[in-house]
Amino acid sequence: MDETVEEKEGGTMKYIIGVDIGTTSAKAIAFDFEGNLLTRKSIEYPIFNPKPTWSEQDPLAIFDAVVNTIKQVDDENKKVGNELECVAFSSAMHSLMAVDAEGNKLTDCIIWADTRSNEYAADIKNSSQGHDIYMKTGTPVHPMSPLPKLLWLRDHRPDVFSRAHKFISIKEYVFYKLFGHYVIDHSIASATGLFDIHTLQWYKESLDLAGITEEKLSKPVSTTHSLVGLNPGYAEQMGIDVNIPFVVGASDGCLANLGVNAIKPGDAAVTIGTSGAIRIIAKEPKNDEKERIFSYILTEDHFVLGGPVNNGGIVFRWFRDNFSPLEIREAAEKGIDPYELLTEKAAKVPAGADSLIFLPYLLGERAPHWDANSKGVFFGVNIKHTRDHFLRALLEGVIFGLYSVGKALQETTGNIDTIYATGGFVRSELWVQILADVFNKKVAIAESYESSCLGAAVLGMKALGVIDRVEEVEKLVPVSRVFEPDEEKHREYMKVYAIYERLYGLLKDEFVNIGNL
Ligand code: ADP
């Protein structure tokens, strides 16, 4: 996975390290000031599931991974005489942990995937305060968010709750260890359910609900805020000067938009990796009366609006692993990827899968329904349908899921013109073309390696004054391919989509019933 680009001609060059503290690994990438990737390193760490609904990580393992990836990237660049100018951060959203007065962990890091606070989230959502909290904080009320997690800790770990000096996210933990200060960037804060995105202050109503005061949280700072004065021990361990500025940066979701250059009005970024998301950038927060989308902060003038879906590429993986033994065998013999063979078969089925419709909610769903009880459904099965129809319907169903979120976004924020696509699904031309045809929009594939790391580096460049506006990212991200929509196919898709859209409402109660069997 790791790669190094050799020293460019001309010798010494200045560079920035963009670090992404992701869910599965920490990645550090060195970029020059033109956005070229110089060196990339990553170190993985595990997720623990001590109970089925729990997802936790060891913050110390993550900290070590961060320090070591920075060191590895810096060592390689030092060798060729390059000069580090700053380190800037991206991190996954929604994590929560408690620390004592010395900064030692009192809990592991409870990550976004943890759903132990499901009942608390449901109670808040259904309470008289639920809608107000969503509108003020921009964060959908959901167990991913730190607010219900705090309520869970209060009731289930009262010892920890009362002893906690601070409740923080993983990025704050890393910065505290490196600099001895608790700071939280506006972007990570805007995904906690505790922060007023309109006033850029902690939101008292949420804090009262959780039973905490501001002192228990970090100081909110802008995403280009930088700290200097590294802990000398860690500076030595990384081999970098104590005076190198560290820019706090933003969340991975917000930075992914920046890193693919989906930043102008009318641009949207669609990611389909294991899960998926669609996001746009607006000048101000625009919350959705129907509570379908989030509003997170990238900078004071850039709000990232959108919705995450659980059911992205994982749905295709499920089909490959459970219904495709022949393709798996053939692919192994030919030394190719089974997804390629499956995609070829799906391409032979007409758009709309001869009226077979798939609701992709294998893992419940976040946007647009925010309903953990929802389930997958094949609808309209008839005697002529083959396995490959099911496959085609499945690929279309994932896109319909994102389209339904895209519709909510367009209702709230205005029209989308161009979609910038990222994630594992861009390896399939068919799947990207389905995206273009369903949305009836142009889809561009950005030639970007790790958009969140590049996004972090762009904030670093802004903090250093190398660029004046984050919009200058346009110069740094070349587009490699563009897919044009096919109007006729779009019309076909819309016929089935109209039914798709109604099915969830018709089946909502039955999802609960089947879950209770
Ligand atoms: P992650 O979210 O873990 O970073 P990726 O961005 O690598 O995941 O995306 C993984 C997903 O991409 C797979 O689950 C699969 O659905 C899809 N995918 C990977 N390779 C292909 C391919 N050749 N054709 C179509 N889809 C693919």
Length of the chain: 517
Per-residue pLDDT tens digits for 93-125 = 999 999 999 999 999 999 998 999 999 999 999
CA of 275 to the centre of ligand 1 (A): 9
User: Atom 7 of ligand 1 has which residue's CA nearest to it?
Assistant: 424
Is any ligand 1 atom within 6 A of the Cβ of residue 431?
A: yes
Q: Of 120-134, 238-252, 472-486, which range is least confident?
A: 472-486
Mean pLDDT to the nearest integer, 68-83: 97
Percent share of the chain, pLDDT over 70: 97
Cα gap 381→373, rounded to integer Å: 23
Mean pLDDT to the nearest integer, 373-396: 97
Is any ligand 1 atom within 6 A of the Cβ of residue 331?
A: no
CA of 274 to the centre of ligand 1 (A): 6
Cα gap 19→26, rounded to integer Å: 7
Specify the pLDDT at position 10: 52
Cα gap 216→53, rounded to integer Å: 26
Mean pLDDT to the nearest integer, 432-461: 93
Specify the pLDDT at position 446: 79
CA of 341 to the centre of ligand 1 (A): 14
Report whether pLDDT(4) > 70: no
Mean pLDDT to the nearest integer, 504-517: 96
Are residues 344 and 329 in contact, defined by beta-carbon separation less than 8 angstroms?
A: no
Using alpha carbons only, what angle is made at residue 144 by residues 141 and 146, rounded to the nearest 5 degrees? 80
Mean pLDDT to the nearest integer, 131-138: 97
Are residues 501 and 404 in contact, defined by beta-carbon separation less than 8 angstroms?
A: yes
* Non-local CB neighbours of 348 within 8 Å, separated by 6+ positions: 388
Is any ligand 1 atom within 6 A of the Cβ of residue 316?
A: yes
Are residues 296 and 258 in contact, defined by beta-carbon separation less than 8 angstroms?
A: no
Using alpha carbons only, what angle is made at residue 168 by residues 166 and 171, rounded to the nearest 5 degrees? 140
* Non-local CB neighbours of 509 within 8 Å, separated by 6+ positions: none
Is any ligand 1 atom within 6 A of the Cβ of residue 264?
A: no
* Non-local CB neighbours of 316 within 8 Å, separated by 6+ positions: 339, 342, 394, 395, 398, 425
CA of 209 to the centre of ligand 1 (A): 40
Specify the pLDDT at position 372: 86
Per-residue pLDDT tens digits for 5-27 = 444 455 689 999 999 999 889 99
Q: Of 272-286, 373-387, 491-505, which range is least confident?
A: 272-286
Is any ligand 1 atom within 6 A of the Cβ of residue 317?
A: yes
Mean pLDDT to the nearest integer, 332-337: 97
User: Atom 27 of ligand 1 has which residue's CA nearest to it?
Assistant: 425
CA of 423 to the centre of ligand 1 (A): 7
pLDDT band at 506 (very low <50, low <70, confident <90, very high): very high
* Non-local CB neighbours of 510 within 8 Å, separated by 6+ positions: none
CA of 294 to the centre of ligand 1 (A): 24
Specify the pLDDT at position 1: 44
**Residue from 40, 17, 42, 38 nearest 27 by CA:** 42
Q: What's 48's DSSP letter?
A: B
Cα→Cα distances 457→17, 20, 267, 450, 510, Å? 6, 10, 21, 11, 47
Which of 427, 433, 435 maximizes ligand 1 atoms within 8 Å of its Cβ, making it the mutation to test the pocket?
A: 427
Give the tokens for residue 460.
Answer: 């670093």
Is any ligand 1 atom within 6 A of the Cβ of residue 314?
A: yes
CA of 425 to the centre of ligand 1 (A): 5
Q: Does residue 284 sit in helix, strand or coil?
A: coil
Q: Which residue has the tokens 């959705």?
A: 288
Q: For residue 24, give the ligand 1 atom closest to its CA.
A: 3
Q: For residue 316, give the ligand 1 atom closest to its CA.
A: 16
Using alpha carbons only, what angle is made at residue 256 by residues 253 and 259, rounded to the nearest 5 degrees? 155
CA of 395 to the centre of ligand 1 (A): 12
Which of 334, 339, 445 maximizes ligand 1 atoms within 8 Å of its Cβ, making it the mutation to test the pocket?
A: 339
CA of 239 to the centre of ligand 1 (A): 36
Is any ligand 1 atom within 6 A of the Cβ of residue 361?
A: no
User: Atom 24 of ligand 1 has which residue's CA nearest to it?
Assistant: 428
Q: Kindly write down the DSSP assignment for every residue of 1-22, as one continuous string.
A: --EEPPPPTTS--EEEEEEEE-
CA of 347 to the centre of ligand 1 (A): 17
Cα gap 147→144, rounded to integer Å: 9
Report whether pLDDT(484) > 70: yes
Is any ligand 1 atom within 6 A of the Cβ of residue 14?
A: no
**Residue from 243, 193, 190, 240 nearest 220 by CA:** 190
Mean pLDDT to the nearest integer, 376-381: 98
**Residue from 252, 271, 263, 254 nearest 399 by CA:** 271
Name the average pLDDT for the chain.
95
Per-residue pLDDT tens digits for 151-184 = 999 999 999 999 999 999 999 999 999 999 999 9
Are residues 184 and 93 in contact, defined by beta-carbon separation less than 8 angstroms?
A: no
Per-residue pLDDT tens digits for 212-266 = 999 999 999 999 999 999 999 999 999 999 999 999 999 999 999 999 999 998 9
Are residues 432 and 445 in contact, defined by beta-carbon separation less than 8 angstroms?
A: yes
Q: For residue 275, give the ligand 1 atom closest to its CA.
A: 2
Give the tokens for residue 179.
Answer: 């600099």
CA of 309 to the centre of ligand 1 (A): 15
Specify the pLDDT at position 11: 63
Mean pLDDT to the nearest integer, 187-206: 98
Specify the pLDDT at position 429: 96
Report whether pLDDT(461) > 70: yes
Cα→Cα distances 45→21, 60, 134, 243, 451, Å? 10, 10, 32, 29, 20
Specify the pLDDT at position 240: 97
pTM of the model: 0.91
